[in-house]
Structure 1
Amino acid sequence: MITPADPPVPPDRPFTVRPGRKLGPIASFVGSAHRAWLDPMRESYLASGLTLSDLSTRMRFAKSKLSELLRGVGLYPRWEIVYLLATELGMPNWPLYRLWCQAALEAHRSNEWVDDCTERTPILTATHTAPPLDHRAFRELVELDYLLYAQVFLDDDRRDAAVANTFDILWLSWDDALASQDTRRYAWNVLRATVMASTPHRDGRPELGMAAFDTAALQSLDDPADRMDQITESLKLFAAMSRLPSSQLDVMVLRRLWNRPPETVSALLGVPLAAVRSDERHATRFLESVLCPPPPPTEGNTP
Structure 2
Amino acid sequence: MTLDELVGLSGYSKTRLSELLRGKGYYPTWEITYSVVRALDVPVGPLRRLWKVAAKEADKDAVWIRKRISDVPPGDGDIQPVDHQGLWQIMWQPYTAYAQAFLQSESRARQVAGETFDILWVIWDEALASPDTPRYAWELLRKKVLARTPTREPHGHPDLRAAAFLTVGQAQIPDLAERLAHIEVFVKFFDAIASLPPDQMDITVLRYLCGIHPDAIPGIVGLPPAITHTLDHHARGALNGLFPDTNTDTNTDTDTDTDTEE
Q: Deviations over 1:36-69 (max 9, x none)?
A: xxxxxxxxxxxxxx12222122223233432332
Q: Equivalent of 2:99, from 147, 150, 159?
A: 150
What is the CA-CA distance between 1:87 and the residue it aligns to? 0.8
Q: Is the aligned partner of 1:141 residue 2:108?
A: no
Q: Kindly indicate whether residue 148 of structure 2 is the aligned counterpart of residue 180 of structure 1.
A: no
| Alpha-carbon distance between aligned partners in 2 of 1:251 and 1:211, rounded to the nearest angstrom | 16
Match of 2:236 among 284, 288, 297: 284
1:193 partner letter: K
Distance across 1 between alignment mates of 2:28 and 2:69:
12
Q: Is the 8 A contact 2:120 2:137 kept in 1?
A: yes
For residues 162-195 of structure 1, the C-alpha deviation after alignment (integer angstroms, 9 at most, x for no partner) is: 1111111111112211111111011111211111
User: For structure 1, which segment, 63-72 or 223-232, has the greater mean C-alpha deviation from structure 2 after superposition?
Assistant: 223-232
Distance verdict in 2 for CA 1:109–1:222, change over 3 Å? closer
Deviation digits for residues 87-107 of structure 1, max 9, x if unmatched?
111111111111101111111
2:214 to 262, 274, 277: 262
Contact 2:159 / 2:191 at 8 angstroms: preserved in 1? yes
Q: Does 1:210 align with 2:159?
A: no
Q: 1:4-41 CA distances to partner (integer Å, 9 max, x unpaired)? A: xxxxxxxxxxxxxxxxxxxxxxxxxxxxxxxxxxxxxx
TM-score normalised according to structure 2 size: 0.81
CA radius of gyration, larger in: 1
Unaligned 5+ residue runs, structure 2? Answer: 246-262
Give the TM-score, by structure 1 length.
Answer: 0.71
Return closer, same or farther for 1:175/1:219 CA change in 2, 3 Å cut-off: farther
State which of 135, 139, 145 in structure 2 corresponds to 1:189.
139
2:29 aligned partner, one-letter code? R
Percent of aligned pairs with the same amino acid: 39
Deviations 1:57-90 (A, max 9, x none): 2223233432332331111111011111111111
Count of residues paired in the alignment: 240
**For 1:235-283, what per-residue CA distance to the aligned partner results, in whole angstroms no more than 9, with x for missing partners?**
2211111212211110110122234333311110111112212222332
Aligned equivalent of 1:23: none
Q: Name the counterpart of 1:29.
A: none
The residue number in structure 1 matching 2:27 is 76
Structure 2 counterpart of 1:44: none
CA contact (8 A) 2:94 2:212 kept: no
Q: Which residue of 2 aligns with 1:163?
A: 113
Moved more, 218-227 or 190-199: 218-227
Give the secondary structure class of the aligned counterpart of 1:260.
Answer: coil
Cα distance change on mapping 1:88 and 1:260 into 2, 3 Å: same
**Structure-1 residue corresponding to 2:200:** 248
Q: From the superposition, tell whether residues 223 and 290 of structure 1 become closer, same or farther in structure 2 (CA, over 3 Å).
A: closer
Please point out which of 21, 38, 61 is paired with 2:12: 61
What value does the CA root-mean-square deviation take over the aligned residues?
2.5
- Deviation digits for residues 209-242 of structure 1, max 9, x if unmatched? 2323445xx2697443586565333222111112
- Structure 1: give runs of 5+ residues left out of the alignment: 1-49, 294-303
In the aligned structure 2, how far is the partner of 1:197 from the partner of 1:127?
33
Per-residue deviation, 1:143: 1.0
Q: Which moved more, 1:225-234 or 1:140-149?
A: 225-234
Q: Which aligned runs of 4 or more in structure 1 are off by greater than 6 angstroms?
A: none
8 Å Cα contact 1:158/1:198 also seen in 2: no
